[in-house]
Amino acid sequence: MKALVRYYTIAVIISLYQNIFGNFDNYHFYRAQHFASELYEPRVAKDWLTSFDIWLGAGRAKHSHNDCGKTLHLFDIYGSSHLENIGCQVPGKNLNCASDLTVTNLYLDPIPVSGLEYRYTKGSFRIAEAGFSFIQNLTRGFFVQAYLPVRSLRSKIKQCTESVPGVPLCCTPLSPFAQTFVNSFDSIMSRYNISLQSRKQTGAGDLSLLLGYTYSYQGTATLDFIDAGARFGVLIPTSPAYDPRYIFNMPLGYHHAGFPFLLQLSIGAFEWLTVGADIGAIIFSSRTENIRIATAVNQPAWLRLTCTQARVRPGPILNGVGYVKADHICRGLSFWLAYSVAHQNKTDIWTDNSCLYNNTQTCYDPVRESWTMHVIHLMGEYDFTPLCAAWGMRLGLFYDIAAGGRRNFMASVGGGTCGLDIAWHF
Protein backbone atom coordinates (compact mmCIF):
# COMPACT_ATOMS: atom_id res chain seq x y z
CA MET A 1 0.00 0.00 0.00
CA LYS A 2 2.84 2.40 0.82
CA ALA A 3 4.44 1.67 -2.53
CA LEU A 4 1.13 2.39 -4.29
CA VAL A 5 0.77 5.75 -2.50
CA ARG A 6 4.34 6.62 -3.38
CA TYR A 7 3.77 5.88 -7.07
CA TYR A 8 0.64 8.00 -7.18
CA THR A 9 2.28 10.88 -5.32
CA ILE A 10 5.06 10.93 -7.88
CA ALA A 11 2.51 10.78 -10.71
CA VAL A 12 0.49 13.72 -9.36
CA ILE A 13 3.62 15.84 -8.84
CA ILE A 14 4.73 15.13 -12.41
CA SER A 15 1.24 15.79 -13.75
CA LEU A 16 0.94 19.19 -12.08
CA TYR A 17 4.46 20.44 -12.68
CA GLN A 18 4.05 23.32 -15.12
CA ASN A 19 7.13 25.55 -15.08
CA ILE A 20 8.37 24.38 -18.44
CA PHE A 21 8.22 23.90 -22.07
CA GLY A 22 5.31 23.38 -26.88
CA ASN A 23 6.26 21.68 -30.02
CA PHE A 24 3.51 22.30 -32.56
CA ASP A 25 2.07 25.43 -34.16
CA ASN A 26 -0.45 25.52 -31.33
CA TYR A 27 0.55 28.44 -29.11
CA HIS A 28 -0.60 31.99 -29.87
CA PHE A 29 -1.54 34.90 -27.64
CA TYR A 30 -4.91 35.33 -29.34
CA ARG A 31 -6.57 32.04 -28.38
CA ALA A 32 -6.41 29.16 -25.88
CA GLN A 33 -4.00 26.44 -26.97
CA HIS A 34 -5.62 23.16 -28.00
CA PHE A 35 -5.26 19.90 -26.08
CA ALA A 36 -5.50 16.67 -28.12
CA SER A 37 -4.59 13.13 -27.11
CA GLU A 38 -2.67 12.49 -30.35
CA LEU A 39 -0.46 15.50 -29.59
CA TYR A 40 0.20 15.16 -25.88
CA GLU A 41 -0.14 11.53 -24.82
CA PRO A 42 2.73 9.08 -25.39
CA ARG A 43 2.19 7.24 -28.65
CA VAL A 44 0.87 3.65 -28.49
CA ALA A 45 3.93 1.44 -29.10
CA LYS A 46 2.33 -0.85 -31.69
CA ASP A 47 4.35 -1.58 -34.81
CA TRP A 48 3.04 -0.07 -38.06
CA LEU A 49 -0.03 1.55 -36.49
CA THR A 50 -1.34 4.46 -38.59
CA SER A 51 -3.45 7.31 -37.18
CA PHE A 52 -5.24 10.17 -38.93
CA ASP A 53 -6.77 12.88 -36.73
CA ILE A 54 -8.73 16.03 -37.50
CA TRP A 55 -10.07 18.59 -35.06
CA LEU A 56 -12.35 21.55 -35.79
CA GLY A 57 -12.91 24.41 -33.36
CA ALA A 58 -14.12 27.98 -33.08
CA GLY A 59 -14.05 30.74 -30.50
CA ARG A 60 -14.18 34.48 -29.94
CA ALA A 61 -12.96 37.15 -27.56
CA LYS A 62 -14.12 40.62 -26.53
CA HIS A 63 -11.64 41.13 -23.70
CA SER A 64 -7.94 40.70 -23.11
CA HIS A 65 -5.38 40.66 -20.30
CA ASN A 66 -2.71 43.37 -20.15
CA ASP A 67 0.85 42.90 -18.90
CA CYS A 68 -0.42 42.90 -15.29
CA GLY A 69 -3.13 40.30 -15.96
CA LYS A 70 -5.94 42.87 -15.67
CA THR A 71 -9.02 42.33 -17.85
CA LEU A 72 -9.60 45.12 -20.41
CA HIS A 73 -11.35 45.81 -23.69
CA LEU A 74 -9.87 43.59 -26.39
CA PHE A 75 -7.55 46.04 -28.17
CA ASP A 76 -6.47 47.81 -24.97
CA ILE A 77 -4.16 44.83 -24.42
CA TYR A 78 -1.02 46.99 -24.83
CA GLY A 79 -2.28 50.04 -22.96
CA SER A 80 -3.19 53.50 -24.17
CA SER A 81 -2.31 54.58 -27.71
CA HIS A 82 -1.03 58.10 -27.10
CA LEU A 83 -0.58 59.99 -30.34
CA GLU A 84 1.72 62.89 -29.40
CA ASN A 85 4.91 61.10 -30.48
CA ILE A 86 3.53 59.19 -33.45
CA GLY A 87 5.71 61.12 -35.90
CA CYS A 88 8.82 61.47 -33.73
CA GLN A 89 12.05 60.44 -35.54
CA VAL A 90 10.12 58.88 -38.41
CA PRO A 91 12.63 58.88 -41.31
CA GLY A 92 11.94 60.02 -44.84
CA LYS A 93 9.38 62.71 -44.02
CA ASN A 94 8.79 65.38 -46.64
CA LEU A 95 7.71 68.63 -44.98
CA ASN A 96 6.21 69.78 -48.25
CA CYS A 97 3.65 66.98 -47.74
CA ALA A 98 0.74 68.12 -45.56
CA SER A 99 0.50 64.79 -43.69
CA ASP A 100 4.21 64.71 -42.85
CA LEU A 101 4.13 68.33 -41.74
CA THR A 102 1.12 67.63 -39.50
CA VAL A 103 2.71 64.72 -37.59
CA THR A 104 5.94 66.72 -37.23
CA ASN A 105 4.13 69.74 -35.82
CA LEU A 106 2.23 67.52 -33.39
CA TYR A 107 5.30 66.28 -31.49
CA LEU A 108 7.00 69.70 -31.75
CA ASP A 109 3.87 71.46 -30.50
CA PRO A 110 4.88 73.94 -27.72
CA ILE A 111 1.44 73.41 -26.16
CA PRO A 112 1.46 69.97 -24.47
CA VAL A 113 -1.12 67.57 -25.92
CA SER A 114 -1.65 65.45 -22.84
CA GLY A 115 -3.80 62.37 -23.32
CA LEU A 116 -4.70 62.56 -27.02
CA GLU A 117 -5.39 58.89 -27.83
CA TYR A 118 -6.67 56.60 -30.50
CA ARG A 119 -9.09 54.41 -28.54
CA TYR A 120 -10.72 51.09 -29.46
CA THR A 121 -13.78 51.27 -27.23
CA LYS A 122 -15.34 48.14 -28.71
CA GLY A 123 -13.95 45.27 -30.73
CA SER A 124 -14.06 41.52 -31.16
CA PHE A 125 -11.88 38.69 -32.36
CA ARG A 126 -13.12 35.44 -33.91
CA ILE A 127 -11.27 32.29 -34.88
CA ALA A 128 -12.22 29.13 -36.74
CA GLU A 129 -9.49 26.50 -36.86
CA ALA A 130 -8.78 22.98 -38.07
CA GLY A 131 -5.82 20.77 -37.21
CA PHE A 132 -4.62 17.79 -39.26
CA SER A 133 -2.36 15.14 -37.73
CA PHE A 134 -0.82 12.05 -39.33
CA ILE A 135 1.21 9.55 -37.29
CA GLN A 136 2.89 6.44 -38.68
CA ASN A 137 4.45 3.95 -36.29
CA LEU A 138 7.61 2.17 -37.37
CA THR A 139 9.18 -0.58 -35.26
CA ARG A 140 10.74 -0.76 -31.80
CA GLY A 141 8.68 2.22 -30.55
CA PHE A 142 9.73 4.73 -33.23
CA PHE A 143 7.21 6.77 -35.23
CA VAL A 144 6.96 9.83 -37.48
CA GLN A 145 4.36 12.59 -37.28
CA ALA A 146 3.15 15.51 -39.42
CA TYR A 147 0.85 18.24 -38.10
CA LEU A 148 -0.64 21.23 -39.95
CA PRO A 149 -3.23 23.76 -38.69
CA VAL A 150 -5.48 25.89 -40.92
CA ARG A 151 -7.01 29.06 -39.45
CA SER A 152 -9.48 31.79 -40.23
CA LEU A 153 -9.06 34.92 -38.09
CA ARG A 154 -11.23 38.01 -37.96
CA SER A 155 -10.50 41.18 -36.01
CA LYS A 156 -13.53 43.46 -35.98
CA ILE A 157 -13.44 47.07 -34.82
CA LYS A 158 -16.85 48.33 -33.77
CA GLN A 159 -15.89 51.84 -32.64
CA CYS A 160 -12.75 53.98 -32.77
CA THR A 161 -12.43 57.51 -31.40
CA GLU A 162 -9.61 59.97 -30.87
CA SER A 163 -10.12 61.40 -27.41
CA VAL A 164 -8.72 62.71 -24.19
CA PRO A 165 -9.58 60.06 -21.57
CA GLY A 166 -12.99 60.65 -20.04
CA VAL A 167 -13.79 63.70 -22.17
CA PRO A 168 -15.60 63.61 -25.54
CA LEU A 169 -13.39 64.83 -28.35
CA CYS A 170 -15.89 67.48 -29.45
CA CYS A 171 -15.70 69.02 -25.96
CA THR A 172 -11.90 68.84 -25.70
CA PRO A 173 -9.90 72.08 -26.18
CA LEU A 174 -6.96 71.26 -28.47
CA SER A 175 -4.07 73.31 -29.79
CA PRO A 176 -4.22 74.29 -33.49
CA PHE A 177 -1.58 71.66 -34.36
CA ALA A 178 -3.45 68.93 -32.47
CA GLN A 179 -6.75 69.89 -34.05
CA THR A 180 -5.16 69.78 -37.50
CA PHE A 181 -3.85 66.30 -36.71
CA VAL A 182 -7.32 65.08 -35.68
CA ASN A 183 -8.92 66.57 -38.81
CA SER A 184 -6.24 65.02 -41.04
CA PHE A 185 -6.08 61.63 -39.31
CA ASP A 186 -7.52 59.55 -42.19
CA SER A 187 -5.25 61.19 -44.76
CA ILE A 188 -2.21 60.57 -42.51
CA MET A 189 -3.08 56.88 -42.28
CA SER A 190 -3.43 56.76 -46.07
CA ARG A 191 -0.08 58.53 -46.51
CA TYR A 192 1.68 55.82 -44.49
CA ASN A 193 -0.32 52.97 -46.06
CA ILE A 194 -2.08 51.96 -42.81
CA SER A 195 -5.53 50.36 -42.79
CA LEU A 196 -7.76 50.71 -39.72
CA GLN A 197 -10.45 48.44 -41.14
CA SER A 198 -11.59 45.12 -39.73
CA ARG A 199 -9.28 42.35 -40.85
CA LYS A 200 -10.05 38.79 -41.98
CA GLN A 201 -7.28 36.28 -42.68
CA THR A 202 -7.51 32.65 -43.79
CA GLY A 203 -4.65 30.28 -44.46
CA ALA A 204 -2.40 27.51 -43.25
CA GLY A 205 -0.24 27.71 -40.17
CA ASP A 206 3.23 26.15 -39.94
CA LEU A 207 3.94 22.49 -40.70
CA SER A 208 5.50 20.31 -37.98
CA LEU A 209 7.51 17.22 -38.98
CA LEU A 210 8.58 15.09 -36.03
CA LEU A 211 10.37 11.88 -35.20
CA GLY A 212 9.22 10.21 -31.99
CA TYR A 213 9.95 7.33 -29.67
CA THR A 214 7.75 5.60 -27.06
CA TYR A 215 8.79 3.20 -24.32
CA SER A 216 6.11 1.30 -22.40
CA TYR A 217 6.94 -0.45 -19.12
CA GLN A 218 4.36 -2.91 -17.79
CA GLY A 219 6.48 -4.91 -15.38
CA THR A 220 5.18 -3.23 -12.21
CA ALA A 221 2.80 -5.13 -9.90
CA THR A 222 0.99 -2.04 -8.59
CA LEU A 223 0.48 0.01 -11.77
CA ASP A 224 -0.93 -0.86 -15.16
CA PHE A 225 1.84 0.81 -17.13
CA ILE A 226 4.40 3.59 -17.22
CA ASP A 227 4.79 5.12 -20.69
CA ALA A 228 7.47 7.60 -21.66
CA GLY A 229 7.87 9.34 -24.98
CA ALA A 230 9.93 11.94 -26.81
CA ARG A 231 9.40 13.87 -30.05
CA PHE A 232 11.69 16.25 -31.90
CA GLY A 233 11.86 17.67 -35.39
CA VAL A 234 11.47 20.82 -37.47
CA LEU A 235 8.82 23.50 -37.86
CA ILE A 236 8.52 24.60 -41.50
CA PRO A 237 7.22 28.18 -42.03
CA THR A 238 4.28 27.52 -44.38
CA SER A 239 2.16 30.40 -42.99
CA PRO A 240 1.80 33.75 -44.83
CA ALA A 241 4.20 36.59 -44.11
CA TYR A 242 3.31 39.53 -41.89
CA ASP A 243 1.38 42.24 -43.77
CA PRO A 244 2.40 45.68 -42.41
CA ARG A 245 -0.57 47.47 -44.02
CA TYR A 246 -3.01 46.27 -41.36
CA ILE A 247 -2.68 47.28 -37.72
CA PHE A 248 -4.86 44.39 -36.50
CA ASN A 249 -2.80 41.73 -38.24
CA MET A 250 -2.80 38.47 -36.27
CA PRO A 251 -0.26 35.80 -37.27
CA LEU A 252 -1.68 32.65 -38.88
CA GLY A 253 1.52 30.88 -37.83
CA TYR A 254 5.00 31.74 -36.62
CA HIS A 255 6.45 32.21 -40.16
CA HIS A 256 9.88 31.25 -38.86
CA ALA A 257 11.75 27.98 -39.01
CA GLY A 258 11.75 26.28 -35.62
CA PHE A 259 13.22 23.31 -33.82
CA PRO A 260 10.65 21.69 -31.51
CA PHE A 261 10.98 18.94 -28.94
CA LEU A 262 8.58 17.29 -26.52
CA LEU A 263 8.98 14.95 -23.55
CA GLN A 264 6.01 12.93 -22.29
CA LEU A 265 5.14 10.68 -19.38
CA SER A 266 1.92 8.88 -18.43
CA ILE A 267 1.08 6.41 -15.67
CA GLY A 268 -1.94 4.08 -15.67
CA ALA A 269 -3.69 2.39 -12.75
CA PHE A 270 -6.95 0.61 -11.86
CA GLU A 271 -7.37 -0.30 -15.55
CA TRP A 272 -9.11 3.05 -16.18
CA LEU A 273 -7.11 5.93 -14.66
CA THR A 274 -4.21 7.68 -16.40
CA VAL A 275 -2.27 10.71 -15.21
CA GLY A 276 0.36 12.35 -17.36
CA ALA A 277 2.44 15.39 -18.15
CA ASP A 278 4.30 16.92 -21.08
CA ILE A 279 7.14 19.39 -21.31
CA GLY A 280 8.38 20.89 -24.56
CA ALA A 281 9.79 23.91 -26.37
CA ILE A 282 10.21 25.53 -29.78
CA ILE A 283 13.39 27.46 -30.53
CA PHE A 284 13.13 29.76 -33.56
CA SER A 285 15.62 30.98 -36.12
CA SER A 286 15.82 34.63 -37.22
CA ARG A 287 14.90 36.05 -40.60
CA THR A 288 14.53 39.43 -42.32
CA GLU A 289 10.99 40.78 -42.51
CA ASN A 290 9.20 43.93 -43.57
CA ILE A 291 7.62 45.18 -40.32
CA ARG A 292 6.46 48.31 -38.54
CA ILE A 293 8.72 49.51 -35.73
CA ALA A 294 8.86 52.16 -33.03
CA THR A 295 11.23 55.08 -33.60
CA ALA A 296 10.70 56.82 -30.24
CA VAL A 297 9.40 56.11 -26.76
CA ASN A 298 5.67 56.28 -26.00
CA GLN A 299 4.56 55.71 -29.57
CA PRO A 300 1.19 53.93 -29.87
CA ALA A 301 1.56 50.14 -29.89
CA TRP A 302 -0.90 49.49 -32.73
CA LEU A 303 -0.16 52.59 -34.83
CA ARG A 304 3.41 52.73 -36.16
CA LEU A 305 4.20 54.96 -39.13
CA THR A 306 7.64 53.52 -39.88
CA CYS A 307 7.86 50.40 -42.03
CA THR A 308 11.29 48.88 -42.73
CA GLN A 309 13.30 45.72 -43.25
CA ALA A 310 14.43 44.29 -39.92
CA ARG A 311 15.92 41.10 -38.55
CA VAL A 312 13.32 39.33 -36.40
CA ARG A 313 13.88 36.41 -34.03
CA PRO A 314 10.80 35.23 -32.09
CA GLY A 315 11.40 34.29 -28.49
CA PRO A 316 11.27 30.59 -27.62
CA ILE A 317 7.88 29.14 -26.68
CA LEU A 318 7.75 27.11 -23.47
CA ASN A 319 4.80 24.89 -22.57
CA GLY A 320 3.71 22.50 -19.85
CA VAL A 321 0.65 20.23 -19.72
CA GLY A 322 -0.75 18.10 -16.92
CA TYR A 323 -3.81 15.86 -17.37
CA VAL A 324 -5.99 13.21 -15.80
CA LYS A 325 -7.79 10.71 -18.04
CA ALA A 326 -10.68 8.36 -17.30
CA ASP A 327 -9.86 5.75 -19.95
CA HIS A 328 -12.70 3.68 -21.48
CA ILE A 329 -14.83 3.96 -18.36
CA CYS A 330 -17.97 2.94 -20.26
CA ARG A 331 -17.15 0.81 -23.28
CA GLY A 332 -15.22 3.18 -25.57
CA LEU A 333 -15.97 6.40 -23.66
CA SER A 334 -13.03 8.38 -22.23
CA PHE A 335 -12.73 11.79 -20.55
CA TRP A 336 -9.80 14.17 -20.03
CA LEU A 337 -9.31 17.04 -17.59
CA ALA A 338 -6.13 18.97 -18.31
CA TYR A 339 -4.36 22.20 -17.44
CA SER A 340 -1.70 23.86 -19.56
CA VAL A 341 0.41 26.99 -19.51
CA ALA A 342 2.17 28.47 -22.54
CA HIS A 343 4.73 31.26 -22.48
CA GLN A 344 6.61 32.99 -25.28
CA ASN A 345 9.64 35.11 -24.50
CA LYS A 346 10.21 38.53 -26.01
CA THR A 347 10.79 38.76 -29.77
CA ASP A 348 14.12 40.40 -30.66
CA ILE A 349 14.36 42.91 -33.53
CA TRP A 350 17.41 44.51 -35.18
CA THR A 351 17.49 47.04 -38.00
CA ASP A 352 20.35 47.13 -40.48
CA ASN A 353 20.56 50.93 -40.69
CA SER A 354 21.51 52.11 -37.20
CA CYS A 355 21.97 55.64 -38.56
CA LEU A 356 18.25 55.95 -39.29
CA TYR A 357 16.81 53.78 -36.53
CA ASN A 358 17.61 53.65 -32.85
CA ASN A 359 17.79 49.92 -32.09
CA THR A 360 17.21 50.61 -28.40
CA GLN A 361 13.78 52.01 -29.22
CA THR A 362 13.16 49.40 -31.91
CA CYS A 363 13.76 46.52 -29.51
CA TYR A 364 11.16 47.83 -27.08
CA ASP A 365 7.79 47.05 -28.61
CA PRO A 366 4.79 46.09 -26.44
CA VAL A 367 3.38 44.07 -29.33
CA ARG A 368 6.48 41.85 -29.29
CA GLU A 369 6.96 41.55 -25.53
CA SER A 370 6.50 38.18 -23.79
CA TRP A 371 3.01 36.73 -23.22
CA THR A 372 1.53 33.94 -21.10
CA MET A 373 -1.66 31.87 -21.49
CA HIS A 374 -3.29 29.59 -18.87
CA VAL A 375 -5.89 27.13 -20.15
CA ILE A 376 -8.23 24.52 -18.66
CA HIS A 377 -9.09 21.70 -21.07
CA LEU A 378 -12.21 19.50 -21.05
CA MET A 379 -12.45 16.65 -23.54
CA GLY A 380 -14.56 13.55 -24.15
CA GLU A 381 -14.04 10.90 -26.80
CA TYR A 382 -15.69 7.64 -27.87
CA ASP A 383 -13.59 4.91 -29.44
CA PHE A 384 -15.66 2.78 -31.85
CA THR A 385 -12.87 0.26 -32.50
CA PRO A 386 -14.04 -3.35 -31.83
CA LEU A 387 -11.74 -5.64 -29.88
CA CYS A 388 -8.96 -7.03 -32.08
CA ALA A 389 -10.23 -5.08 -35.12
CA ALA A 390 -7.76 -3.93 -37.76
CA TRP A 391 -9.19 -0.40 -37.87
CA GLY A 392 -11.54 1.86 -35.96
CA MET A 393 -12.84 5.42 -35.62
CA ARG A 394 -12.88 7.88 -32.75
CA LEU A 395 -15.19 10.88 -32.24
CA GLY A 396 -14.89 13.51 -29.53
CA LEU A 397 -15.81 16.93 -28.20
CA PHE A 398 -13.54 19.46 -26.47
CA TYR A 399 -13.56 22.87 -24.83
CA ASP A 400 -10.36 24.83 -24.21
CA ILE A 401 -11.05 27.54 -21.63
CA ALA A 402 -8.80 30.63 -21.51
CA ALA A 403 -8.40 30.91 -17.74
CA GLY A 404 -5.83 33.70 -17.40
CA GLY A 405 -2.53 35.11 -18.53
CA ARG A 406 -0.65 38.26 -19.53
CA ARG A 407 -0.85 40.09 -22.87
CA ASN A 408 -3.35 37.57 -24.23
CA PHE A 409 -6.84 37.56 -25.71
CA MET A 410 -9.47 35.74 -23.65
CA ALA A 411 -10.60 33.50 -26.52
CA SER A 412 -11.87 30.09 -25.44
CA VAL A 413 -12.28 27.49 -28.20
CA GLY A 414 -14.75 24.61 -28.48
CA GLY A 415 -15.26 21.98 -31.15
CA GLY A 416 -15.03 18.34 -32.19
CA THR A 417 -12.46 15.72 -33.14
CA CYS A 418 -12.41 12.74 -35.47
CA GLY A 419 -9.74 10.05 -35.66
CA LEU A 420 -9.02 6.87 -37.62
CA ASP A 421 -6.61 4.14 -36.51
CA ILE A 422 -5.37 1.39 -38.86
CA ALA A 423 -3.31 -1.56 -37.63
CA TRP A 424 -1.25 -2.97 -40.47
CA HIS A 425 0.02 -6.55 -40.33
CA PHE A 426 3.11 -7.42 -42.34
Kindly report, residue by residue over 279-320, the tens digit of the pLDDT. 999 999 999 999 888 888 778 888 889 888 888 999 999 999
- Average pLDDT over every residue of 205-218: 95
Q: What is the pLDDT of residue 20?
A: 33
Task: Say if residue 230's pLDDT is above 60.
Answer: yes
Q: What are the angstrom distances between the C-alpha of 325 and each of 133, 270, 275, 313, 336?
A: 21, 12, 6, 37, 4
Task: Say if residue 41's pLDDT is above 80.
Answer: yes
- Average pLDDT over every residue of 321-327: 95
Distance CA 360, CA 327 (A): 53
Task: Say if residue 404's pLDDT is above 60.
Answer: yes
Which amino acid is residue 235, in one-letter code?
L
Q: What is the pLDDT of residue 8?
A: 41
Q: What is the pLDDT of residue 115?
A: 59
The residue ranking higher by pLDDT, 93 or 60, is 60
Task: Say if residue 276's pLDDT is above 60.
Answer: yes
SS3 content of the chain, % helix, strand, coil (to 5): 15, 50, 35
Distance CA 376, CA 285 (A): 30
Q: What is the pLDDT of residue 353?
A: 67
Q: What are the angstrom distances between the C-alpha of 43 and each of 281, 318, 377?
A: 18, 21, 20
Task: Say if residue 337's pLDDT is above 90.
Answer: yes
- Average pLDDT over every residue of 65-87: 84
Domains, the chain, with CATH or none: 2-423 (2.40.160.40)
pLDDT tens track for 155-166: 987 656 555 555
Task: Say if residue 18's pLDDT is above 60.
Answer: no
Q: What is the pLDDT of residue 74?
A: 87
Task: Name the nearest CA neighbour of 39 among 426, 417, 423.
Answer: 417
Q: What is the pLDDT of residue 201?
A: 92
The pTM of the full predicted model, rounded to 2 decimals, is 0.87
402, 31 Cβ separation under 8 angstroms:
yes
